[in-house]
Structure 1
């Protein structure tokens, strides 16, 4: 379904979270790159509980997370986490490097820097912070970002905060996190809401990302920058979509969430048309476990095998046909409720608009309607699982159905790989934040700010011109290498291997890797150390230029775990001139009949057959030069012989 974004008045606000490239974490001296790939040394288990704010209130997002009742297991590696991350030691001083970077971004965005920085605790009990809170500090407010087609987009605020722990696995009973990422410095930049086409909105995120990268003080790669996107349509509430990592994913999120919110508004209109009384929704809940004790449904049988199982039926008076109503493709109340239930670790939920199905028969439905007093105008929900979990879910589930009566619910949602969104938690409230008592306020004086003015990152267009001038790249390749994850590596490679062409290096790091990635090969398997090793071998004359993409492919397929193994597997040991010329001479002799027949046009055949044997072992230009000279000599000698005769 194609929706007119202008008519829907879609508003989009960005909160960009960018990891900073620092030698240490924000509140301790542990490594700040989160690159632990060596496993973990020890682990511990915690259960997190909500606490009241200074005003005596519980944050509703924290209460929601607590209702899911997960234990959390944390894994730690020496050097990558310490007692600070384990919440067994107070935080150390704020990283000066990270603070300086946050101040630089504030200056670059013309933001008003506060006189004194106060570290705050933001309540988070989903398990991603051992302490149950995330430390954050406001650096500046106001300011603007210059973007094509928008002139100036307002900056709401810039914060410096710690990144969360890395989720390893989750199930209904246990979450597992790695602490190597917890505490890495993040800068958060929140922009004013804007309206525009998807392409224009994406360009805003791209422009801000380029500004951050131009500082050379941020990390690159998947996971290093995350965008929380606040989306609303006319007549709806603001929905926060967390964790958008790629611009291509952002376009899909905007499309999906716009359709979803429009669909929910249409569902709310149907509620209004029916004049549904809120007190009728969930006015009767009954234990119907005994009705399904002999059910042949595989899903029901699985529910009844749970620990202390129960099956409840919730009556929804006057809602017949509305749970399955689909005003926009794939937008249904039933789907929304299913997402909500699954987030509580339960999967056994059905509604009347989709039954009979799943092995639940008409006879089962008739018995249930009679037992729960369900009329022909009513809908119902069947939900089953562990009794304690079901009891914790019933009230929130009914409340959620009632909320949909009013359209879009203000909530936080997570993004999936395909750009759809799923329910995550309610939007947090003001009760979430309170002061950090272990860190003194940090004064910001003019001397510090004056010392940073020469370090403010250049605008993107000036930076691209500088790359073109310094390395001799054209504009397209300059933009590609800068926007890639490999710009810092590109500069390192040219410093350590000055004899290699910058254009060649840039094309390999952008075009070749992108081409292989499009074939579903994993570029994350190709580490910086591997790439440095490959180009060092090229600079020493140990491998040919043509071998690089072949080695990339082997490593990205995980066929080989090291550059040395990939070279040996491909038999890419570079030939010396004696072996090369001997091989080419033999190939030339074997194809004399073709050469005599085609003359100069036989060069393509000779190159094709040569590269089939020698690809990756010798530079193609060297093969081409030798064969071309040999062919010209042969043809000239043949011509001279003909003239003499």
Structure 2
């Protein structure tokens, strides 16, 4: 059965979203550092940290944090000339940024959510290195909102304002390297109720929330500035959180994929139950592979490592069963092994292969007491890693007998997902004592115009067609469009320049990223004032992009793209008409089309067609 064949209502699909959106504020949430992103090469210095979980106020340790801490890693942080003591966790955080709070309240209004009377900052334990302090600061701002979808309303359970994590740069020999430029950027987290009952509704809800967020005009745009987490379960399955969905377009595919994975896991569990399946005890089987031709195994043994095996009684043929495209139950076992430092696992559903012979497989089965109906999984690595990893494999195999485990998974680009860690619990949250609470006041927050409303207004007020109006309203340059139009620039010219001309220049490898908003606005102002022909706007922008130190006026003078004056236009048109006087007398206004091109050519592209057209019509009418 494919995802298209599923009856989601019969399966009891329940889904919810968590939308994480960076805010485009001047400073970070708990310090005065800027929120601009930096290139890793700009780092001025580094420092390292080792993190470990702490107990909650009730003396509990969060399971997800505990598993993360079992992997001993060093975290290196790239710092910059703007990095402050708060970001390095060498100074207490400052008060919550007022601009960020105001934007969060604006978003709460768009979601019809009720602001809390008092917002307290909490610490959320995070020991994966993404925060120098070992926790993330978060504050509940509003609750009980709702959005509409074509399949019914979707509730908004909560809206939180929190600090963004550091940017993961790369794995190192000792751990992970992070960049601090992103750490502390204000972020809103929007959590929906589990009201979503189809993949299509999940996508629609995410698109609706995304539109509302962009309507504020105060959220960051671009890759990584918005992330979606999707919670999915079916009636006989379990709640699974898929994190790090980068593209809205992937959400419906991820929901379909997770439903399919849970359906397959339930069928595997039913088959395992019928076989009276069980998981045996791990055993060291290194001696069996002393003369192996497998490069992976031989490499581990030559470095003093070991080969650990676990018998999976009744699992034959099921470890290799596909759960999602190119992902099998064996892949799930491998994900857990990798979390403990191993490179992966081999299992008998895929062996002999990878240099492992049929004889070695038979010897392996005999050594752990596995028969034809059983499977065996092995891990080859250093002794400690192999022992830890095979234990994780055994634990995951145990849950396969039970059904679908609750867990946090990472979203892959192909619509599949991979195991990350257990679901976090309440034990990872406790009050932040260094930041005083604030009393949100939504009375001074204005509700912005929605992007859908802008599209309609651009059509009605500015005469843009529906497609161009939507491009402008939803585009990154919408504020610039509104600014130049308010300054008298023709809306159609402004929209075409921002959404078409700049795109065409980029495709022609013009470095449009060098253009500032002031330079673009200045170019459009020159066209508005008649100093630059509209047809030369792209040429001037290209010239400025190649010499970004120039203003629009300086580039215009250097390139000689200035427009012809009204007197020059009339003189050129009059000369064309006189040269074709006989044709004008015979054809009258019918001669217009033929003479228009000649007139434009005579002016060398230094005049707008509208001005030339008006002057030509007037001259023909006078002679006719």
TM-score, reference length from structure 2: 0.82
CA displacement 1:590-636 (0-9 Å, x = unmatched): xxxxxxxxxx9x99xx99xx9xxx9xx9899699989xx9xxx9xxx
What are the equivalent positions in structure 2 for 1:205-354 lying under 5 Å apart? Answer: 205-277=206-278, 281-288=279-286, 290-304=287-301, 308-326=304-322, 329-354=325-350
Q: Does 1:505 align with 2:494?
A: yes
Aligned equivalents of 1:552 and 1:374: distance in 2?
A: 72
Equivalent positions of 1:330-409 (< 5 A) are: 330-409=326-405
Instruction: Name the SS of the counterpart of 2:435 in structure 1.
Output: coil
Alpha carbons of structure 1 residues 22 and 41: separation in structure 2 relative to 1, 3 Å: same
Q: State the shift of 1:550 in Å.
A: 8.9
Is contact 1:544-1:574 (8 Å) kept? no
The aligned residue for residue 637 of structure 1 is none
SS at match of 2:280: strand
Cα distance in 2, alignment partners of residues 554 and 72 from structure 1: 45
User: Aligned partners of 2:548, 2:50: CA distance in 1, in Å?
Assistant: 41
State yes or no: 1:465 paired with 2:456: yes
Shift of 1:360: 1.0
Q: Which residue of 2 aligns with 1:484?
A: 475
Question: How far, CA to CA, are the matches of 1:328 and 1:246 in structure 2?
Answer: 20
Establish whether residue 418 from structure 1 lines up as the match of residue 420 from structure 2.
no
Number of the residue aligned with 2:138: 136
**1:435 pairs with one of 428, 431, 434:** 431
* Alignment map for 1:27-42 (pairs within 5 Å): 27-34=30-37, 39-42=42-45
Shift of 1:381: 0.7
Evaluate the alpha carbon distance shift between residue 537 and residue 513 of structure 1 in structure 2; reply closer, same or farther with a 3 A threshold: closer
Distance in 1 of aligned mates of 2:610 and 2:30: 55
Q: Assess, with a 3 A threshold, how the Cα gap between structure 1 residues 551 and 120 changes in structure 2: closer, same or farther.
A: farther
1:121 equivalent in alignment to 2:123: yes
Write the distance in 2 (CA, Å) between the matches of 1:202 and 1:300: 44
| Distance (whole Å) between structure 2 residues aligned to residue 16 and residue 95 of structure 1 | 21
CA distance in 2, matches of 1:548, 1:359: 64
Residue aligned with 1:443, SS = coil
Contact kept in structure 2, 1:299 and 1:348, CA below 8 Å: no
Q: Equivalences for 1:589-600 in 2 at 5 Å?
A: none
Cα shift at 1:574: 5.9
User: Do the aligned partners of 1:243 and 1:414 also contact (CA within 8 Å) in 2?
Assistant: yes
Higher mean displacement: 370-379 or 54-63: 370-379
1:397-436 per-residue CA deviation (whole Å, 9 max, x = no partner) reads 2111111223222111222333332222111011111111
How far residue 543 of structure 1 moved from its aligned partner, in angstroms, is 8.2
Tell me how far apart the structure 1 counterparts of residues 501 and 31 of structure 2 sit (CA, whole Å).
Answer: 39
Count of paired positions:
594
**2 CA distance for matches of 1:54 and 1:365?**
51
Kept in 2, the 8 Å contact 1:285–1:312? The answer is: yes
Query: Alignment RMSD, CA only?
Result: 4.3
Cα 1:420–1:560 shift into 2, 3 Å = farther
What are structure 2's unaligned runs of at least 5 residues? 551-557, 570-590
Q: 1:25 to 1:187 in 2, by over 3 A?
A: same
Deviation at 1:208, TM superposition (A): 1.4
Tell me what 2:58 maps to.
55
Cα–Cα, structure 1 residues 575 and 434, in superposed 2: closer, same or farther, change >3 Å? closer
Superimposed CA distance per residue, residues 245-304 of structure 1 (whole angstroms, 9 cap, x where no aligned partner): 322122332232222222222222222222224xxx13242242x332322223334434
TM superposition shift of 1:69: 1.8
Partner Cα distance (1:619, 1:343) in 2: 67
Determine the structure 2 residue equivalent to 1:82: 84
Q: TM-score, normalised by structure 1?
A: 0.80
CA distance in 2, matches of 1:481, 1:560: 25
1:459, distance to aligned residue in structure 2 (A): 4.5
From the superposition, tell whether residues 492 and 311 of structure 1 become closer, same or farther in structure 2 (CA, over 3 Å).
farther
C-alpha distance in 2 between matches for 1:511 and 1:158: 36
| CA drift at 1:526 | 5.2
TM-superposed CA distance for 1:575, in Å, is 5.6
